[in-house]
């Protein structure tokens, strides 16, 4: 396939890039700093906090699918996930590209957003510890990041595109295994961790599965 990978310099984005190349896909990497991408890959440079629509359109024109691991690296950068994803969606529409897979986060099902001001109080996959201790704690620790990702999910739901949102719990840097649990529309019971490599593995895997269109997928080891 021809793929455009946004945030190809991030933890998950880098994994997606390496795995996509290893699988024989033709990849355009989109990065805020092109020097941070390996030299044998076509790179388009774009700061998604202030993107040039024509540059984004040139990055996605002719691809079969877009993958994105975009996320704020600090609280002060929060907002980049939803605004950058909105710009990616606009570029995809201009270039007639329909398929996009992005990374959100496990707690987002319970985070309010403009389009979902009253989300469920609990994710059906979360057990007692996650519902009452960990999830509230994380949401208090990272309110701007999570508001950003919740709004990014709104952008995709309203896009009319063929989207898939992957919601991982705590990310680790262990190697790819391809062995993990997934569930549609909810988190995984007892699933506190997943590697960035296996999130990237799932992002590539869903491209072959039309059941995953317009679906949110929980993942965990
Ligand atoms: N940490 C966790 O345990 C955890 C758990 C669940 C979900 N998540 C979420 O999962 C997502 C991916 O995680 P990760 O570990 O792969 O994240 P990461 O390593 O922090 O990567 C973030 C990526 O976004 C890019 N980016 C940020 N601002 C940008 C801008 N203005 N223009 C262009 N690119 C920009 C970064 O580019 P640069 O390389 O140029 O900075 C980087 O490639 C994030 O949204 C994160 O919040 C994290």
pLDDT digits (tens, 9 = 90+) for 191-219: 999 999 999 999 999 999 999 999 999 99
Task: Indicate if the pLDDT at residue 10 is higher than 90.
Answer: yes
DSSP state of 74: S
Mean pLDDT score, 19-23: 98
Helix (H), strand (E) at residue 216: strand 215-220
Atom of ligand 1 nearest to the CA of 9: 43
Mean pLDDT score, 158-173: 97
- What pLDDT score does 152 carry? 98
Confidence of residue 128 (pLDDT cuts 50, 70, 90): confident
Residue closest by Cα to atom 28 of ligand 1: 72
Q: How many angstroms is it from 71 CA to the middle of ligand 1?
A: 4
Mean pLDDT score, 94-116: 97
> In the chain, how many H helices and how many E strands?
7, 10
14 lines ligand 1 (CB under 6 A): no
Length of the chain: 221
State phi, psi for 206 to the nearest 5 degrees.
Answer: -65, -20
Task: Indicate if the pLDDT at residue 113 is higher than 90.
Answer: yes
Mean pLDDT score, 68-82: 97
- What pLDDT score does 115 carry? 97
Residue closest by Cα to atom 11 of ligand 1: 71
Closest CA to 153 of 109, 123, 198: 109
Q: Break the chain down into helix, strand, coil percent, rounded to 5.
A: 40, 20, 35
Q: Reduce the DSSP state of residue 60 to 3 states and report it.
A: helix
Q: How many angstroms is it from 144 CA to the middle of ligand 1?
A: 14
- What pLDDT score does 134 carry? 80
Mean pLDDT score, 30-39: 96
Distance CA 41, CA 36 (A): 11
33 lines ligand 1 (CB under 6 A): yes
Closest CA to 17 of 32, 4, 36: 4
Task: Indicate if the pLDDT at residue 150 is higher than 90.
Answer: yes
Q: Reduce the DSSP state of residue 22 to 3 states and report it.
A: helix
Q: How many angstroms is it from 28 CA to the middle of ligand 1?
A: 18
105 lines ligand 1 (CB under 6 A): yes
Confidence of residue 143 (pLDDT cuts 50, 70, 90): confident
Q: Reduce the DSSP state of residue 41 to 3 states and report it.
A: coil
Confidence of residue 53 (pLDDT cuts 50, 70, 90): very high
Instruction: Give the lowest-confidence range in 73-87, 118-132, 155-169.
Output: 118-132
Atom of ligand 1 nearest to the CA of 142: 47
Q: How many angstroms is it from 181 CA to the middle of ligand 1?
A: 23
Confidence of residue 97 (pLDDT cuts 50, 70, 90): very high
Task: Indicate if the pLDDT at residue 184 is higher than 90.
Answer: yes
Distance CA 169, CA 192 (A): 6
Q: How many angstroms is it from 81 CA to the middle of ligand 1?
A: 9
**How many Å from the N-terminal Cα to the C-terminal Cα in the chain?**
27
- Percent residues over pLDDT 70 in the chain: 100
- What pLDDT score does 131 carry? 85
Strands 65-68 and 42-45: unpaired
Per the prediction, the chain carries an average pLDDT of 96
Task: Indicate if the pLDDT at residue 133 is higher than 90.
Answer: no
Question: Which of 4, 5, 6, 7 has most ligand 1 atoms within 8 Å of CB, for mutation?
Answer: 7
- Percent residues over pLDDT 90 in the chain: 92
Closest CA to 196 of 8, 55, 3: 8
């Amino acid at each position: 396939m021809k793929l455009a990978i946004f945030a190809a310099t991030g933890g998950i984005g880098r994994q997606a890039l390496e795995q996509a190349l290893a699988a024989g896909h033709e990849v355009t990497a989109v990065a805020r700093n092109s020097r941070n991408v390996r030299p044998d890959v076509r790179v388009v440079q774009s700061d998604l906090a202030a993107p040039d629509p024509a540059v984004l359109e040139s990055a996605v024109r002719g691809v079969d699918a877009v993958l994105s691991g975009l996320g704020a690296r600090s609280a002060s950068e929060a907002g980049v996930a939803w605004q950058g994803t909105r710009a990616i969606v606009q570029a995809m529409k201009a270039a007639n590209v329909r398929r996009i897979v992005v990374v959100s986060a496990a707690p987002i099902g319970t985070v309010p957003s403009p389009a979902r001001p009253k989300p469920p109080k609990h994710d059906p996959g979360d057990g007692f510890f996650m519902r009452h201790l960990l999830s509230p704690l994380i949401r208090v620790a990272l309110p701007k990041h999570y508001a950003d990702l919740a709004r990014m999910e709104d952008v995709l739901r309203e896009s009319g595109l063929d989207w898939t949102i992957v919601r991982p719990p705590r990310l680790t840097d262990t190697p790819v295994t391809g062995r993990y649990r997934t569930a549609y529309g909810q988190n995984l019971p007892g699933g506190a961790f997943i590697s960035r490599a296996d999130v990237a593995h799932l992002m590539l895997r869903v491209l072959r599965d039309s059941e995953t269109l317009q679906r949110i997928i929980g993942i965990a080891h």
